[in-house]
Amino acid sequence: MDKRILIIGGGPGGYVAAIRASQLGAKVTLVEKQDLGGTCLNRGCIPTKALYKSAEVINMINNSKDFGIMVDYYNIDVNMLQKRKSDVVDKLVGGIKVLLKSNGVDIIKGNATIKDEYNVSVVKEDGKVININTDYMIIATGSQPFVPPIKGIESNGVLTSSELLEFEEIPESLTVIGGGVIGLEFAGIFNAMGTKVTIVESLPNILNNFDKDIYKRLASYLKRRGIKILTNTTVEEIASVEYGLNLTVSGKKGERILKSEKALISTGRRPFIEGLGLDRIGVSYNKGIKVDENFRTNVKNIYAIGDVIGGAMLAHVASHHGIIAAEGIMGVNNIKNTDVIPSCVYITPEVASVGYTEDYLKDKDIDYKTSKFMIGANGKAITMGETDGFVKIIADESNRILGVHIIAPHASDIIHEGTIAIAKGLKVEDFSDIIHGHPTVSESFMEALMGITGEAIHMAPQKKRR
């Protein structure tokens, strides 16, 4: 008899798990209460990247005179921006639906509640309630924005990322509360559109978990573009006023008021576990559902993947979890690497990072050396007029690659060379006979690598040791 697997949640974790389980011969049912693709495709990764591309075009127009092209006037049509964003989302969501159906996955739109370890109750769109009996479950319900307990947080004009994505007019000013990935991406988008942007971050740095050279250099680039950054600063209160919002903030200079038309809450996300019925069946959870290395919960036939378990809340991580869980249920025990995770920030210039940071290695008293190739010396970057940034490599004393940190055009594409290198335990010497195409920005990765051994051609040796 085929194994029956019920998956709750059709985001990048759930739908990938469904397809992989079906490939392995399972009879799969996928329950999704909203839209296939989850937050990533509908309210996160994809719509923000569609707007990011529009922001890139605006930045190109603003700098077109550097390329000998004079643009005297242009207009931003918000309706067209939103239509393009929606068209991109619809195309991808439609593609997922086709993939699921072509793999024989039964899709049910409705809200699922776990009744016991083998039964789930689903309230469908039409109000009809059905019961689904299954052998295994995979919980992939994702996450939702974390809204901090700030006085006045419910004021008109205070928005989550999902709400801001649906903007109908470009705000004159925007205060971004939180200097992490989500906040910075929105800051870059609206800055390009002409909005006066202020970032308020309670920690000492924006992108505080990234390598120190990343967040220091990026902060200087953003300030140069007119984005105001307030670190070590907290929002104490928000009040609605005639022109928008007054935000009372507290920092090194004491309390003051920031005036802003809109405010974005981008202080992170939390696992979505409400209403699943976890307590009824005894599934252990704290901030997220607790799982083992195969993503099995303490209830033997129930698994959980992606944002709902906490940790790195990234779409590509959820998809990877989904494959591991599906294969585990189906008896495929391949070893999968879940520790080496690339992180990308879609802003101009792009940021990407994988592996250890300098601060981490210092804290652990691990000897290391670094090499940094400046993008301003890369031929392709110069022709593109995008010369801000660097590629930084961190290696141990045996030249094994430990970390790769990039600010550069196409950083989100280049980072995967570093991801493979770290995941496979490669050394600098393993790249010495690999030819990189010219002219490409990825040549900068090779130059930075060879800088570790003092063999870079297009830069002076820059390795430093502890």
Catalytic residues: 438
Positive or negative, the CA dihedral 299, 328, 46, 415 is positive
By C-alpha distance, which of 263, 310, 378 is closest to 143?
310
Given a contact cutoff of 8 angstroms between Cβ atoms, the answer to whether 422 and 341 are in contact is: no
- Mapping DSSP to helix (H, G, I), strand (E, B) and coil, where does residue 157 land? coil
Q: What is the dihedral sign for C-alpha 151, 154, 155, 159?
A: positive
CB 404 within 8 Å of CB 354: yes
Length of the chain: 466
Angle between helices 78-102 and 45-62 (to 10 degrees): 140
Task: Pull the structure tokens for residue 120.
Answer: 């789930």
Preceding peptide of 349 cis, ω within 30°: yes
Q: Maximum Cα–Cα distance for the chain, whole Å? A: 70
DSSP state of 317: H
Local structure of residue 33 (DSSP, 8 states)? S
Residue 462 to residue 394: CA distance in whole angstroms: 12
Q: Given its phi and psi angles, is residue 152 left (phi above 0), alpha (psi -120 to 50 degrees) or beta? A: left
Amino acid at 421: A
How is residue 397 written in tokens? 């004393």
Question: Exposed, middle or buried: residue 188 (CB in 10 Å: 0-12, 13-18, 19+)?
Answer: buried
Q: Give the three-class secondary structure for 53.
A: helix
390: which 2 tokens?
A: 């660097």
